[in-house]
Structure formats: C-alpha cells, structure tokens
Amino acid sequence: MLKLTPGRWAMLGAFLAAACLVGWWVLWRPATAADLIGLFPDGEAPTLYVDVAVLRTAGILEMVAGKAGVEDPEYRKFVAASGFDYRRDLDAVAMRIRSTDTLLVLKGRFDAGRLAAYAKSSGGRCTPDVCTVQGSAPERQISWTPKARHMLALAVAPDPLAVALINDTPRQVSRSLPVSPVWLEVPGSQLHGGPGLPPGLSALLSSLDGANRAMLTAGVDGSGFALKLQADCPDAERAKQIAGRLTQMTEMFRKLLARDNKQPNEADLSGLLARGEFAADGLDVNGKWPLSKVLLSSLLAR
C-alpha cells in the first residue's frame, strides 16, 4: 500500500488545486468568439460575428436599434413574456448561414424557464432540453437550447430540431479570428455574385471569385472607422488579378459619378465605394473603405 508522506500530500494537494483551477477556467471563464464559432458543425458557410457588448458600450447599438420603447408591439410582447431584451441581455452573436438553415450561438443572459413559457404560449413545444416554435413561414421552424457559459444555441430551419446540429462543446478553431467587433467570413465556394443579393454585395463577391476565403471587418481605424477586406489566394498571380478587378470596379464607379457630374458624397454610399483602396501582398489581397462618421450615422439612423 502506498504511504503518503508529507511531501506526497503536498504534491497531491497541488495537483488537486491545479485541477480545480483548470476546471474553473474551462467551465466558468467568459465565452470568446472562438468558443461561439467552435460550436458550429464542420463545413464551410458564411459566418457573421457581432460583439454586441462593444457596440452597446460605444453607443452604436442604440444608434442601430433606436431608443428603447420604439420597438413593434410583437417584440415588446416577447420581452414581457421571455424576460429577454437584446438591448441589455445580449453580449455577442455568431451566425452560420447555410443553404437550408441558419444556425446561431448567442452569448448573454437568458431565463430558460421564461423562454420555454413563451414558446408554449406561442403554440410551440419544449422538452427538458429543446424548445421549438413555428416562425413566420412553415419552413422557418425556430428551435433553441441553452448551452454552458451563458450561451444559447438557436436554429431557423425546415427541421424543428435543427438546433441539435450545434455542438455541446466547442471544437478548436484552427485559424485566428479578427479582433474587430463586427466581421463576416466568406469561404471561397461562396465567393460569387448571384440573384437575390444586393447589387453592391453581388459585385464585390464576383470580384473576389478565385480566393480561398475572404474576411470583411468593420471597426475603428485611427480617428475614424473603416471597412477592411483580407482575402487569401492560392497563388500570388491570383491575388494580383483580384486586386486589379477590385481597383477597376472602383475606378468604373468613379467614372460613372463623373459622367453624371457628381462627386463622391461622404454622407452616402458613393463616398464609401469611390474611396476603396486595394493591393496584393503575396498571397493576400488587402482592401479598405474609409467609413466617415457622417455616413455611419446616416446608415445607422435608417
């Protein structure tokens, strides 16, 4: 029988203390962007991330949503029944946009019991783990389930139990994620224009066709704001071609404005699109659209 000497007792105590610290770190540390993204299933699809807490602190969330009390009656009814108001309770959201469904992971403060009561009062159903309710159309079945560390998984899909696609524990995200409060990542397979997309977005995706993936970020840039692009390409020649297409698209827009005797206006999208700058750097394409405060205020006030 192993005899525990004072030295061995000390080693055992240190081991148990370390194990407790690791357990606390894993279970109770605040969830990061990588934790939210890591809950999505394998597979490539456009992914949007928004750090709502940062936007709230900066006053941008109120600019986007308007002042409290201006929401439609249906939303006020939801808040009263569920106790959840994104203005104060939502801290971050990650969205994976797939061909047949949309998966979301939200971080914030949720009352699972009140959310379940809301689902049942709206004709939905709940098991001990999952709630589901009919959305605005038959193919929009909304399902959700609580996750650890103040996260909630939610799915909008034809399948009323599609939320089961979202993992219980995050897988490791192998690539580094942006530090910007808002970013959109688009895999190469989705970099193409098409019907149903806004014309500006369709043109941008078409210009990026051939890249492995593209990352669009929005955030502070010096004393102002900017939209930034980083796209990695399979080879340097492809990067030059894509940067050239983006530059040509911007120059064409400037010529169209000049033909109509117009100048880029900082207060509308012409001031954004006409000031885009792009360059190839090895395998990467980098771009930036300076976003003036007057345009930001104009866009968010709509």
Where does a domain end: 101, 134, 165?
165
Gap between the Cα atoms of 276 and 246, Å rounded: 8
Spatial CB neighbours of 197, under 8 Å, sequence gap ≥ 6: 205
- Of the pLDDT bands very low, low, confident and very high (cuts 50, 70, 90), residue 30 is confident
159, 220: one domain: no
Highest mean pLDDT among 21-35, 50-64, 166-180, 232-246: 232-246
Number of domains in the chain: 2
- Of the pLDDT bands very low, low, confident and very high (cuts 50, 70, 90), residue 13 is very low
| Strand ordering across the sheet containing 151-157 | 125-126, 131-134, 141-147, 151-157, 102-108, 90-97, 47-50, 182-187, 213-221, 224-232, 284-291, 277-281
Residue 265 in any domain: the answer is: yes
Radius of gyration of the chain (CA): 24
Backbone φ, ψ for residue 180 (5° rounding): -65, 150
232, 152: one domain: no
Among residues of the chain, what percentage have pLDDT more than 70? 81
141, 212: one domain: no
142, 209: one domain: no
Any idea what DSSP says for residue 41?
P
- Of the pLDDT bands very low, low, confident and very high (cuts 50, 70, 90), residue 64 is low
- Both tokens of 213, joined, read 């993936």
Any idea what DSSP says for residue 78?
H
pLDDT at 15: 44
37, 155: one domain: yes
145, 232: one domain: no
> How large is the average pLDDT for residues 86-91?
92
Assess whether pLDDT exceeds 70 at residue 285.
yes
pLDDT at 196: 54
192, 157: one domain: no
pLDDT at 5: 55
- Of the pLDDT bands very low, low, confident and very high (cuts 50, 70, 90), residue 76 is confident
> How large is the average pLDDT for residues 239-243?
96
Residue 230, phi-psi category: left (phi > 0), alpha (psi -120 to 50), beta (remainder): beta
Residue 93 in any domain: the answer is: yes
Spatial CB neighbours of 7, under 8 Å, sequence gap ≥ 6: none
Half-sphere exposure of 167 (CA within 13 A, CB side): 12
Residue 242 in any domain: the answer is: yes
272, 201: one domain: yes
Q: What is the pTM of this model?
A: 0.82
Residue ranges making up the domain that contains 231 = 186-300
Give 168-184 as a DSSP string.
SSPPP--S----SSEEE
β-bridge mates for residue 144, sequence order: 131, 154
**How many beta carbons lie within 10 A of that of residue 118, not counting itself?**
22
Gap between the Cα atoms of 22 and 220, Å rounded: 35
Assess whether pLDDT exceeds 80 at residue 163.
yes
What CATH number corresponds to the domain at position 241?
3.30.980
Query: In 3D, which of 104, 68, 103 has the Cα closest to residue 86?
Result: 68
Gap between the Cα atoms of 221 and 278, Å rounded: 16
pLDDT, averaged across the chain: 83
- Of the pLDDT bands very low, low, confident and very high (cuts 50, 70, 90), residue 216 is very high
